[in-house]
Structure 1
């Protein structure tokens, strides 16, 4: 029996208002302030905030259920806001000093990110000097901090790491002109010669394998003794699922009273629409079941303070991308026959179609990459370092 989700119950009440703002989000090319205020008022931004700072520490299944529902109303809002939330989970793995700087004066502080290691750095006493125009930083307009990726040389070895930088140390380049997810505000953060102290730098591998410096801070937590990446990326598949579920509802609503323009025939009475909605419905239902099982596994591992082996990590990593593939196929199957009138820019269906396909465009959700990751694992081959 499914457990109650109080956060989802509260969220459901504001979804009509979020949906009504979807066009506004696209016009602004960022989340409307009203949406941020409503979501903050629910406390969703504190989902993964440590209880020590006033957070909720809710489970991953509870959170993803909320993000799926939010995406059905406005995927742009869900995309940016979910990342602002999940970065709190990542920050809880940093040092106490870093966390106090981050949340000490403002427990509602959140971070955006740009984790592809495109920036440059110089070693200096007590840390590094970082420079870079860091692209793809969703929700950066509402971020108090940014988490950036870098390849740091440690003992002649390249170590993929994260550095945390305050809002005062970067500027935003307003360059997000996209066809899909227009309202996510995925802009570029420009960072020029900023000092990042050592306590705000951490190796990604340590955060995947339980060696992060913050591990002992929350011995009773059920969500921080787990790899950071599944939490960071959980929203991508949840959003694709939410969009696909909403697309099915939209298709049903549109088809119910639709007639052929030239013949007057009822569309819903013909065989092709019946077959298409049936297959898409089954495909999306299968994707939800697959994802819910995976998210439940994340939760159970965290509760046991158990870190997964390489197979389980590859399994989790690629489940998400395969579920997204199914959701996109389901959406595209319906979109193909929804008629020319739905190509108007103010129609929900074409926005859902664009958003759905955008969920499969992230580097982490590329199924061509994911299939190689799980295929190599299944055949006992060493991981390919060229694959993310």
Structure 2
């Protein structure tokens, strides 16, 4: 616990540096090596890593709190930190040999990912042949392994299996395609694989993660590793967006304290009651999003620590709160942007970058509100729900 607290303090101390580098990250279309090294030095990437590899196997709330702080300083850095940081949690679910392959010589090794099953998977003796192109691999420049989603076709009455495949950098190339309007600093480029062999132990079924029964749990017995992938990963995407909206809020309040509205006879913006109401609404939205996240993660960890089964209704509620958290954050950043006046559209103003980054994060597939809300509604009405992301 003390180690995780020290990490959180180290991240807080790094926040001003990351804020100063935010424009550089956007201009370069990737996070600097210096920023990744600085985050690693705080121990951030070890928060969700098993203790047997030098990790803290910390409470998810600590991890997500750090992500929110980082994203409030720089949206792109927060996004990359979050998705790369959660990979250490997922690798802990793989068979031990896969963990040894990645961390055996260097526990600080980082992985990127792309889970949409856009490649071709063929089952062969001892493993799988993997080929194709995967997009949106955030932070891949800083990783030496990648996690790729793929579907193994079923045979006869055997259903298809959606799996994650772990590949070293020698098995793939990175193609620079990242020219976007938001999250420009994430370097979320394409991963291209040409007929690589992946041994069976370097793959993990999404079905196993949904059932919370994975090979890695034999050695990584902490409660953290008994939480569903469908609860941890979605908040990995929502939390940076909450952080971006929080950064926008802080920038907005600071700006409005000094702003004078020339169009309204020199009235100070801070004295405008309508501006005050908009700020209050934005603050309430952000608080609601964060309180739901912390309550959900705390309940999951409490049950996992007690060795109790995680009820379906809780898992559905987590997904409900996750998509609503994204919606609330977007609602807040939109209100703040609209309240900032014309100068917020200048490229030198941080509000426009927070706005673009948050909306870029919003279009991630995991933020599809109708799908998650429909799942929750089905559960409430007593209907069956079968989804790997719950």
* Same structural fold, with TM-score higher than 0.5 when normalized by the shorter chain: yes
2:185 is aligned, of 175, 183, 187, to 183
**Distance in 2 between residues matched to 1:145 and 1:110, nearest whole Å:** 7
**Distance in 2 between residues matched to 1:201 and 1:39, nearest whole Å:** 28
SS in 1 for 2:162: strand
- Residue 10 (structure 1) aligned with residue 10 (structure 2): yes
CA offset digits 1:60-87 (Å, max 9, x no partner): 0111111111110011011112111111
For 2:339, the equivalent position in structure 1 comes to 337
**Distance in 2 between residues matched to 1:8 and 1:386, nearest whole Å:** 31
For 2:259, the equivalent position in structure 1 comes to 258
Q: Is the 8 A contact 2:147 2:167 kept in 1?
A: yes
For 1:312, the equivalent position in structure 2 comes to 314
Aligned length in residues: 385
For 2:54, the equivalent position in structure 1 comes to 54
Alpha-carbon distance change, 208 to 181 in structure 1, aligned in 2, over 3 angstroms: same
Q: Is the 8 A contact 1:176 1:185 kept in 2?
A: yes
- Residue 358 (structure 1) aligned with residue 360 (structure 2): yes
**Distance in 2 between residues matched to 1:206 and 1:386, nearest whole Å:** 9
**Distance in 1 between residues matched to 2:215 and 2:228, nearest whole Å:** 13
- Residue 22 (structure 1) aligned with residue 26 (structure 2): no
SS in 2 for 1:49: coil
Deviation at 1:154, TM superposition (A): 4.1
For 2:63, the equivalent position in structure 1 comes to 63
**Distance in 2 between residues matched to 1:303 and 1:386, nearest whole Å:** 22
For 1:169, the equivalent position in structure 2 comes to 171
Deviation at 1:148, TM superposition (A): 0.7
For 2:73, the equivalent position in structure 1 comes to 73
CA RMSD between the two structures: 1.9
The 5 A counterparts of 1:145-160 are: 145-155=145-155, 156-160=158-162
CA offset digits 1:228-280 (Å, max 9, x no partner): 23222332222122222222221111111211234322222222111111111
SS in 2 for 1:327: helix
Deviation at 1:310, TM superposition (A): 2.2
SS in 1 for 2:281: helix
10-19 or 292-301: bigger deviation:
292-301
Q: Is the 8 A contact 2:123 2:152 kept in 1?
A: no
117-126 or 149-158: bigger deviation:
149-158
Q: Is the 8 A contact 2:152 2:162 kept in 1?
A: yes
Q: TM-score normalised to the size of structure 1?
A: 0.95
Deviation at 1:223, TM superposition (A): 1.1
- Give unpaired runs (5+ residues) of structure 1: none
SS in 2 for 1:163: strand
**Distance in 2 between residues matched to 1:251 and 1:125, nearest whole Å:** 58
**Distance in 2 between residues matched to 1:301 and 1:31, nearest whole Å:** 37
Q: Is the 8 A contact 1:117 1:149 kept in 2?
A: yes
For 2:286, the equivalent position in structure 1 comes to 284
For 2:235, the equivalent position in structure 1 comes to 234
**Distance in 2 between residues matched to 1:355 and 1:136, nearest whole Å:** 15
**Distance in 1 between residues matched to 2:44 and 2:241, nearest whole Å:** 19
**Distance in 1 between residues matched to 2:30 and 2:348, nearest whole Å:** 17
For 1:222, the equivalent position in structure 2 comes to 223
**Distance in 2 between residues matched to 1:333 and 1:246, nearest whole Å:** 14
SS in 1 for 2:267: coil
CA offset digits 1:180-231 (Å, max 9, x no partner): 1111111110011000001111211112213211221123x13112222322
The 5 A counterparts of 1:66-145 are: 66-145=66-145
Deviation at 1:46, TM superposition (A): 1.0
Q: Is the 8 A contact 1:60 1:298 kept in 2?
A: no
Alpha-carbon distance change, 84 to 386 in structure 1, aligned in 2, over 3 angstroms: closer
**Distance in 1 between residues matched to 2:389 and 2:145, nearest whole Å:** 28
**Distance in 2 between residues matched to 1:386 and 1:39, nearest whole Å:** 31
Deviation at 1:103, TM superposition (A): 0.6
- Give unpaired runs (5+ residues) of structure 2: none
224-233 or 17-26: bigger deviation:
224-233
For 1:273, the equivalent position in structure 2 comes to 275
**Distance in 2 between residues matched to 1:358 and 1:87, nearest whole Å:** 21
Alpha-carbon distance change, 153 to 304 in structure 1, aligned in 2, over 3 angstroms: farther
**Distance in 1 between residues matched to 2:213 and 2:283, nearest whole Å:** 42
**Distance in 1 between residues matched to 2:258 and 2:214, nearest whole Å:** 57
